[in-house]
Amino acid sequence: MLYIVATPIGNLKDLTFRAVEILQSVDLIACEDTRHTKILLAHYNIKTPLTSFFQHNRFSKGDYLVNLLAAGKNIALVSDAGTPGILDPGYNLINLAIKNNLPMSFIPGAAAFVNALVLSGKPAHEFYFGGFLPNRTQARKNLLAKFKQLGCTLIFYESSHRILASLDDIGEVFVGQEIAVARELTKKFEEVLRGTPKSIQERLIKNKPRGEFVVVI
Ligand code: SAM
């Protein structure tokens, strides 16, 4: 069985009882960065062997893991944070397992965009999750203009070094729109800033933007 196990997005206590049981009992845990996942396992005194499965070894390691699954081993797939498969290499292993008709089960838990959507107070009955916005301004503005046509809540992931530039572009495309920017979700310095992109930008500049961000429009 391939167990797809969601892990915390910051607060180590956000791991379910079932996730702990499965991480303890599987033969192997496939993770993005073994150093990162070791911190979580140490917190729960889990001693299961780890193997890395990340962007650059996803094909070779994917075949290896599928062979182990086909031979009857139980493997847990985790990512650095949150739900495997949501913008991380987990997606590749899940698809490979599907192609090979291997059984799988998902142990639910945190996903950063869900926390941000709920805390934003924006309508959550219809939303579009757009992952990461493009790096370049023009491409970003074009994509934002396209998504604007959807007329529903929009959610994006963003990094600390790009958040200010993205807020510039969001302000230009969504004139007068109040948005929410969530950072450090579930962590000690969790913060949700609500208002126009400009006003949020001004508040972020004061303390130099730090951490990981989710933007909800
Ligand atoms: N698999 C993850 C999930 O379930 O949300 C997402 C992985 S993606 C590579 C990482 C991005 O998620 C970060 O750049 C950030 O935008 C967002 N993110 C993850 N943890 C977060 C947190 N604690 N607070 C705010 N955003 C977070």
- What is the pLDDT averaged over residues 182-210? 94
pLDDT tens across 78-126, in order?
999 999 999 988 999 999 999 999 999 999 999 999 999 999 999 999 9
Which residue, by CA, sits nearest to atom 19 of ligand 1? 112
Residues 83 and 17 in one domain: yes
pLDDT tens across 147-179, in order?
999 999 999 999 999 999 999 999 999 999 999
Beta-sheet pairing, 104-107 with 50-52: unpaired
Q: What is the DSSP letter of 81?
A: S
CATH number of the domain within which 203 lies: 3.30.950.10
Q: What is the DSSP letter of 77?
A: E
Q: Which residues of 188-209 are buried (b: 16+ CB within 10 A; e: fewer)?
A: eeebbbbebbeebbeebeeeeb
Strand partners, 106: 4
Of 87, 107, 127, the domain-final residue: 107
- Ligand 1 residue neighbourhood (C-beta within 6 Å): 9-10, 79, 81-83, 86-88, 111-113, 157-159, 182-187, 212-214
- What's the domain range around 32? 2-107
CATH number of the domain within which 50 lies: 3.40.1010.10
CA angle 36, 215, 188 (to 5 degrees): 50
pLDDT tens across 24-63, in order?
999 999 999 999 999 999 999 999 999 999 888 888 899 9
CA of 157 to the centre of ligand 1 (A): 7
CA of 78 to the centre of ligand 1 (A): 14
Of 73, 107, 141, the domain-final residue: 107
Amino acid 57: pLDDT: 87
Cα separation of 11 and 9, whole Å? 6
